[in-house]
Amino acid sequence: MNETIHAAPCNSNAIDEVKNVLSYLRELPGKGILTGQHTQTTVQKELKYIEEVTGKLPALCGFELLAYSPNINYEDAGEACLIEVEENKNTLDNAWDWVLNKHGLITFTWHWFSPFGSRDKGFYTEHTTFDASQAVLEGTEEHARLIADMDHMAELLKPFCEKRIPILWRPFHESEGEWFWWGAKGPEVAKQLYRMMYLRYTHHHRLNNLIWVWNSPLPEGYVGDDVCDVISLDTYPPKHTHTDLEDEYNRLVKITPANKLTALGEIGVLPSIPRLSETHIPWVWYMTWSNEFGATEEWTTKEELRHAYGHPYSVTLDMLPRLY
């Protein structure tokens, strides 16, 4: 864990701001961890809760892009789905505010309603007939529609690139499982989907502001060192169980011999910051999930939250240097 972490961007055309972020992250292990919080709605109740309890804000804010999916089937969607989409609209406005006015880091999550064949919450496998194994084959309708959706999202990301704002981009998250359509056909198909997006976004759209985050702990289907900057996993330990997540780290780093930056893409409870300050398990960030995970005491008490945000090992927004 004391080896030098190689953090040159996988994209050789990455902008200097990406290099700045990666250089900063490379120096973090053993010195600190970025505090992170996912916000699922434009209200951002999680940030308000954290600030009320701790007087601080996280260094990294996560934003949800599900409402920007171009093929939401509003005609065959339940009330819960419609509410979730409505509450998620305009989250990019919040992201712009975060980077322009607070100068924090951002990461995007896309619960992608499938390109066709979806109903209700169409990012779930059970709610779509879309076949990802056909989408990786050129000449199929699935492939054409997949590329169209990718291009739609690329246009929304381009203004960030034009403003030279780096984004921790975590596509096809949790692809080790079958619950999302992109993982339903197995890890090898998910790998191909990711590599397709990487080539499309770097070569065709020239989105050179993206920091590519792979999000699966499986050695099978690992996308490759050449197309990812950070490896990550999602984990939801039992309520009020705060550890350094050493076992999860040891599992994750087995996917590649390269000494990649490592992150907790999603977590339900805060990790133990005091424990991390002692063991130096080299997570560079964690991102607590939204709603009850990040805005109530159901998973992490206010006392634990204050302790974490007040600990010198935690990097909060006020401690983050200007990286872009």
Active site residue 178: no
pLDDT in the model for residue 5 = 59
Active site residue 297: no
pLDDT in the model for residue 6 = 56
Using a 10 angstrom Cβ sphere, with 0-12 exposed, 13-18 middle and 19 or more buried, the burial of residue 159 is exposed
pLDDT in the model for residue 275 = 98
pLDDT in the model for residue 7 = 67
Tell me the pairing of strands 60-64 and 230-235: unpaired
What residue ranges of the chain have pLDDT lower than 70? 1-7
pLDDT in the model for residue 2 = 41
Q: Where are the domains of the chain?
A: 16-319
pLDDT in the model for residue 49 = 98
If you search the block for the tokens 């790998």, which residue do you land on? 191
Helices (H), 55-131: 79-88, 91-97
Which of the residues 155, 266, 278, 304 is marked catalytic?
266
Q: What are the tokens at 57?
A: 């804000």
Q: What are the tokens at 301?
A: 């008490």
Q: Which CATH architecture has domain 16-319?
A: Alpha-Beta Barrel (3.20)
φ, ψ dihedrals at 206, nearest 5° = 55, 45
Q: Looking at the DSSP assignment, which residues form a beta bridge with residue 14?
A: none
pLDDT in tens, 203-243: 999 999 999 999 999 999 999 999 999 999 999 999 999 99
In angstroms, what CA-CA distances link 280 with 214, 235, 243, 283, 314? 22, 19, 12, 8, 12
Nearest residue to 248 via CA among 227, 229, 234: 234
Which of the residues 46, 64, 84, 174 is marked catalytic?
174
Separation between Cα atoms, residue 254 and residue 74, nearest integer Å: 42
Separation between Cα atoms, residue 267 and residue 36, nearest integer Å: 10
pTM of the entire structure? 0.96
With beta carbons less than 8 A apart as the criterion, state whether 263 and 284 touch.
Answer: yes
